[in-house]
Structure 1
Amino acid sequence: MGERGDSEGLEMELGRERRRQQMLENSISELRKTVTELEKKLSGVEDEGNEWKTRYEMQVELNRQLQRQINILKDKVELIRGNPTDKLAVVRIFDQMSVGSLKEVLEQLKEEKKSLQNQLKDYELRLEQEAK
């Protein structure tokens, strides 16, 4: 009877250990799923961070280009507003140019104006899209 009691006790203990093992395996499985989900979320956050970094870098580059254009335009305005004798010098230069040369200058100015207008529209569209 002693061996039988020990045997039954051991079987009960073995059963409890198996249930514990099964619970631990279930817990491990759930933890692995949780880790996988967290890794996916982390990857998503990193991608989002990269997107914002890219947007920032694009904006910085756009700002540099705009600043350069502003400086060029300021220089042109300053040249035009310069002292009156300089204005007369420009008028004399234009006065000495042939009609064909003046038409070429006019075409260049029209192309530059069109290019600047297109850039302005492009920047406006970008700003609208980024605002969304």
Structure 2
Amino acid sequence: MTGESDYSKYDLARLQAELEQEREMKEMLEESVSDLRSTMCELQERLHSVDGEGNEWKTRYETQTELNGQLERQIALVHERLEDLRGNPMDRLASIRSYDDMPVETLRQRLKLLTEEKCDLQTQLMDCHLRTEQEGKAFHKTNDERRAYLSEIAKLSSTLEAQRRQCSTQPQRALDGKLRSSVRHS
């Protein structure tokens, strides 16, 4: 009976005020959780849009692979020519003799053609080098952004989980604590 008399000492208005305060706290926490969820969804969408850029990177990769293949074929052709020249000394002399038999104007044209080919190859090499550097920088920038998004999503997820735990345990603890303190004061 003494337990019932302890509870009867509570003022109904005070209990209603505490209940209203707890409801406000719960509403505030739910709003905070909702905001965190929407922020997390936005970040996940941004992350997926970065992942969606994979098609662009795939295209770049395929283009670069094709360009590398062309360069490798050109290198192989140059190596074959070099081997032909280094190979049989008689063959070397034959090619030299073929140049000896050519008129000077034809040799000049041949030299001009080889010089242009060399310049074209050097230009292609520089273009490939610059493109590789630019794409490398773009890749690292995008990768850093992706990591930042993942980090932010992880932080928000842990904050959201902590608030969920707090929301589920705090109102019960607060109510228990208030009831105990009210019983002691009575």
TM-score in terms of structure 2 length: 0.48
Cα separation, 2, equivalents of 1:130 and 1:45:
15
> What stretches of structure 1 move > 2 A for 4+ residues in a row?
36-43
Counterpart residue number, 1:122: 127
Q: Does 1:67 align with 2:72?
A: yes
- Residues 77-96 of structure 1 aligned to structure 2 (within 5 Å): 77-96=82-101
Q: Deviation of residue 79 (structure 1)?
A: 1.5
Q: How does 1:103-118 map to 2 (within 5 A)?
A: 103-118=108-123
Offset at residue 70 of structure 1 (A): 1.3
Comparing 82-91 and 63-72, the one that deviates more: 63-72
Cα deviation digits, residues 63-122 of structure 1 (max 9, x gap): 211211111111111111121000110111111111111111111111111111111111
Shift of 1:59: 2.0
Q: How many residues align?
A: 106
User: Taking CA–CA contacts closer than 8 Å with sequence separation of 6 or more, which of the two structures ends up with the larger relative contact order?
Assistant: 2
CA RMSD between the two structures: 2.7
What percentage of residue pairs aligned between the two structures are identical? 53
Which runs of no fewer than 5 residues in structure 1 stay unpaired?
1-29
TM score, norm. by length of structure 1: 0.65
Equivalent residue letter for 2:108:
K
1:118–1:85: structure 2 CA closer, same or farther, 3 Å change rule? Answer: same
